[in-house]
């Protein structure tokens, strides 16, 4: 069972909260330079638990977690990280009625120092984006320290989940700002894109949703044609995410598990091939 957590960034601080619960920034995460783990070059194990953190206890009854061999502590960290999901919501406001909880990040400075790099480089991370407003995500990423960015760059499971309700000019301007930031950055995180569109399970709902997905895919493709080469390249994975979701839904409407791929489907609809992401 995966434990779901949420990341938000009020007042330029990252908060990690469990589903329905929150952890104050002062104890839960590294929100200041004093609490950011120093990441040494090398493998993930090299920069986490590499030695016993405290002198060996002479009394077996007084053994602590840090008396465990570093290999065992690292194994525990990795198991916990792989069963955790971090979610960055698009809501800039944090609920004040969520009671604090105690977790590994709040257990001790040493535990946070060892666990945070493993968490950021291993656990699935989902950033929820509504109507192409990436402002909260950009604020969080800009507030990360180099050690945290380094760990996230090693994570193959970081996803931007797109929630679309409107496609106004302002929404597209928000999207353009995101593309410019991505294009100008030399330290980009390896985000994947996914469209949050649940299959309604019936034909009428599927057809309506398919039209909506096709609308966004074509709208983004038209925008893409007006952008510079760099921004076109940045937008391409997002266009493909809408195409993939539309193709999967189209196959469901036709009652087949695997029908036409994206390029074949676009060719049948006399649309240009949009490549792969």
Q: List, for residues 52-110, the tens digit of each pLDDT value.
A: 555 555 566 778 889 999 999 999 999 999 888 888 887 666 555 444 443 788 888 99
Work out the angle between the directed axes of helices 169-184 and 135-142 (0-180°, nearest 10).
20
Domain final residue, candidates 166, 196, 226: 196
Domain-located, residue 148: yes
User: For position 122, what pLDDT does the model report?
Assistant: 92
Q: Which domain holds residue 212?
A: 200-277
Residue 42 confidence (pLDDT): 44
- Indicate whether 239 belongs to any domain: yes
Asked if residue 39 is part of any domain, the answer here is no
- 108's tokens: 């001790």
Using 50, 70 and 90 to split pLDDT, how confident is the model at 6?
Answer: low
pLDDT tens sequence across 11-61: 333 334 333 333 333 333 333 333 333 434 444 444 567 665 555 555 667
Q: What is the percentage of the chain residues whose pLDDT exceeds 90?
A: 42
Question: Taking 60 as the threshold, does the pLDDT of residue 223 lie above it?
Answer: yes
Q: What are the φ and ψ backbone dihedral angles of 210, each rounded to 5 degrees?
A: -60, -45
Please report whether residue 209 resides in a domain.
yes
How many distinct structural domains can be found in the chain?
A: 2
* Band of residue 168 on the pLDDT scale cut at 50, 70, 90: confident
For residue 75, give both structure tokens.
């194994």
Final residue of a structural domain among 177, 196, 215 = 196
Query: Rounded CA gap, 184 and 175, in Å?
Result: 14
Who has greater pLDDT, 268 or 214?
214
What token pair was written down for 77? 């960290």
Based on the fold, state whether residues 125 and 155 are members of the same structural domain: yes
Please compute the mean of the pLDDT values over residues 237-260 and round it to a whole number: 82
**Alpha helix ranges (H) inside the chain:** 25-28, 70-82, 104-107, 109-122, 135-142, 146-153, 169-184, 203-225, 229-254, 262-268
pLDDT of 228 strictly over 80: yes
Q: Which two tokens stand for residue 9?
A: 């960034």
Q: Does residue 258 share a domain with residue 166?
A: no
> What is the pLDDT confidence band of residue 256, given thresholds at 50, 70 and 90?
low
Q: Which two tokens stand for residue 254?
A: 């036709």
Q: In what order do the strands lie in the sheet with 15-18?
A: 15-18, 3-8, 84-88, 125-130, 158-163, 192-195
Predicted confidence (pLDDT) per residue in 171-212, tens digit:
999 999 999 999 887 678 999 999 998 888 888 888 999 999
Do 175 and 245 fall within a single domain? Answer: no
Same domain, 86 and 131: yes
Query: What pLDDT score does 20 carry?
Result: 34
Q: pLDDT at position 11, please?
A: 38
Residue reference for tokens 């893409």? 224
Asked whether residue 138 falls in the same domain as residue 172, the answer is: yes
Has residue 126 got a pLDDT over 70? Answer: yes
Q: Which of 196, 215, 238 represents a domain boundary (last residue)?
A: 196
Are 270 and 221 contained in the same domain? yes
Q: Within a 13 Å sphere around the CA of 265, how many CA atoms are in the beta-carbon half?
A: 21
């Amino acid at each position: 069972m995966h434990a779901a957590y949420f990341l938000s960034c009020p007042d330029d601080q990252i908060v990690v909260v469990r589903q329905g619960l929150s952890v104050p920034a002062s104890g839960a995460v590294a929100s200041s330079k004093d609490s950011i783990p120093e990441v040494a070059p090398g493998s993930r194990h090299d920069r986490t638990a590499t030695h016993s953190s405290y002198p060996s206890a002479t009394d077996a009854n007084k053994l602590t977690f840090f008396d465990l061999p570093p290999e065992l502590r690292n194994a525990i960290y990795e198991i916990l990280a792989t069963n955790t999901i971090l979610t960055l919501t698009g809501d800039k406001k944090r609920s004040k009625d969520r009671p604090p909880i105690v977790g590994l990040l709040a257990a001790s400075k040493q535990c946070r120092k060892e666990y945070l790099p493993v968490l950021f480089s291993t656990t699935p991370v989902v950033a929820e984006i509504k109507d192409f407003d990436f402002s909260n995500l950009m604020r969080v990423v800009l507030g990360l320290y180099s050690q945290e960015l380094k760990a996230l760059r090693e994570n193959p499971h970081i996803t931007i989940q797109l929630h679309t309700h409107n496609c106004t000019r302002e929404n597209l301007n928000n999207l353009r700002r995101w593309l410019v930031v991505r294009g100008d950055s030399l330290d980009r995180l390896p985000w994947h894109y996914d469209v949050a569109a649940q299959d309604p399970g019936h034909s009428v709902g599927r057809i309506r949703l398919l039209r909506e997905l096709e609308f966004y895919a074509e709208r983004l493709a038209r925008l893409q044609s007006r952008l510079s080469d760099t921004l076109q390249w940045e937008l391409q994975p997002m266009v493909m995410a809408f195409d993939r979701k539309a193709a999967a839904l189209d196959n469901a409407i036709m009652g087949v598990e695997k029908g036409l791929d994206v390029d074949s489907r676009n060719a049948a609809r006399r649309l240009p091939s949009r490549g792969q992401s």
